[in-house]
Amino acid sequence: MYRKGHLGVSLLVFAPIGYGLVSIGEPELSLLTGAVMVWLAMLPDIDHRLPIISHRGPTHSLLFAALVGGVFAGAGFLLEGAFTVAGFSLAAFGFFLGFVSVFAHLIGDTLTPAGVNYLWPLSTKTFSVYLTRADNTIANQGLFALGVLVSAAVMGLAFGVF
């Protein structure tokens, strides 16, 4: 999956989360979540630029999602007490945010024939729902448009614009 397709999938995954956060009275956190998910939408593809790591290997796994979650949990832990968020700990929310940001990328790549080895390094089996080739322009543009449309509509509802 290319950048636009990934952004679209990330926005689709964000929509219900963002709605939920606004509905429990955390609009700023909702916007922050959307921003982080868009920012990290391509993070697993840093493996293109890392010499020893194979593409769609370690950075395309639940383990990597948990690792990024751990980094965000650490940041949340340091900020704990600085402000409160709807009764849940910032460390726990940080973990969720890091994890789901990477997980959204994995979902995008699952739609392509090469698939994703979610259980790396425990398994070599890749999981794929062959919906489109990664370089399919219509699929990438379509997912992007759908993600923008759905998240805008859902956030519009959440903020009471409609």
Taking the C-alpha atoms of residue 103 and residue 36, their distance in angstroms, rounded to an integer, is 13
CB-based burial label for 133 (10 Å; 0-12, 13-18, 19+): middle
Q: Measured from the CB of residue 155, what is the shortest distance to Zn ion in angstroms?
A: 26
Distance set, CA 20 to CA 24, 73, 110, 157 (Å): 6, 20, 25, 11
Residues in contact with Zn ion, counted by CB under 5 A, come to a total of 3
CA distance 85 to 80: 10
Q: Which of residues 32-51 bind Zn ion (CB under 5 A)?
A: 44-45
Pick from 13, 85, 94, 109 the residue near Zn ion by CB under 5 A.
109
**26 makes contact with Zn ion (CB under 5 A):** no
Segment 49-108, which members bind Zn ion (CB under 5 A)? Answer: none
Minimum distance between the CB of residue 6 and Zn ion, rounded to whole angstroms? 7
Least Å from the CB of residue 106 to Zn ion? 8
Binding region for Zn ion (CB under 5 A): 44-45, 109
